[in-house]
Amino acid sequence: MGMEFPAVDAAIALLEKAIKTKPKDTKKRADLHKKANESLKALDKHMADAEATFKKNLDATTRILEEAFGVASSEAKLFDREIVRHLRRAVKLSKEVDRPKDWTVDFGKAAKTVADWDPKAEGVEELEQGIKFLKSGVKAIDTGMAAHRKEELECNAMVDEALKDLYELDDAKLKEAVEPYLTRYRGFFHPPG
């Protein structure tokens, strides 16, 4: 099951409406072209910003795990090393999580292609190509997210193991030092409450 993108669906509906509009109805076509251009520019910016935020959050979670690993490594006693092993593995897995790269490039292509369309012309190839780019962009994100989810779950399982180890320890100082990091990490994946 893919992700839902209401803004993409709205842009496609707008493009389909422009495709169905008769060439002699130039005012209506021009209005739809203007709306489609605005919609696609906003969508392209939104998707690029979302991709950047997603990368930033992935990097932040990796840093949090690295900090937790560093604290646990320095604070853990010899018998408490299992948590260190799990955190080391979690850091490694977090670094291996694919960062989004060019997931949203098709949205920019769609915006450019549709902007090149002449509403007074007979043809609508640019609009049809714009729809293809939008659908391709959604597919790229769905594919990337599917791979990401698998990697994220593996990393989260290792963090859960580290938390389990932490709660089983009799070392209050270690718990106090490491728990805030793991709580912050889990905050990225679990809503508060």
pLDDT tens per residue across span 93-111: 999 988 888 888 999 999 9
Query: Picking from 38-42, 77-81, 138-142, 149-153, which range would have the lowest pLDDT averaged per residue?
Result: 77-81
Give CA angle at 70 (100, 86), nearest 5°.
70
The distance of Cα 34 from the centroid of its chain, to the nearest Å, equals: 29
What is the pLDDT at residue 1? Answer: 45
Residues 6+ apart with CB under 8 A from 124: 18, 19, 117
Q: Name the nearest CA neighbour of 134 among 116, 101, 110.
A: 110
Mean pLDDT, residues 133-157? 91
Confidence of residue 45 (pLDDT cuts 50, 70, 90): very high
How far, in Å, are 66, 68, 118, 190, 192 from residue 163 at the CA level?
A: 15, 11, 59, 15, 17
What is the pLDDT at residue 78? Answer: 57
The rounded distance, in Å, linking the Cα atoms of 82 and 79 is 8
Mean pLDDT, residues 170-181? 88
Give CA angle at 162 (157, 163), nearest 5°.
95
The amino acid sitting at 75 is E
Q: Enumerate the H helices of the chain as residue ranges.
A: 6-20, 26-75, 81-96, 105-115, 125-168, 172-187
pTM: 0.81
Confidence of residue 15 (pLDDT cuts 50, 70, 90): very high
Cα dihedral sign, 120-122-128-133: negative
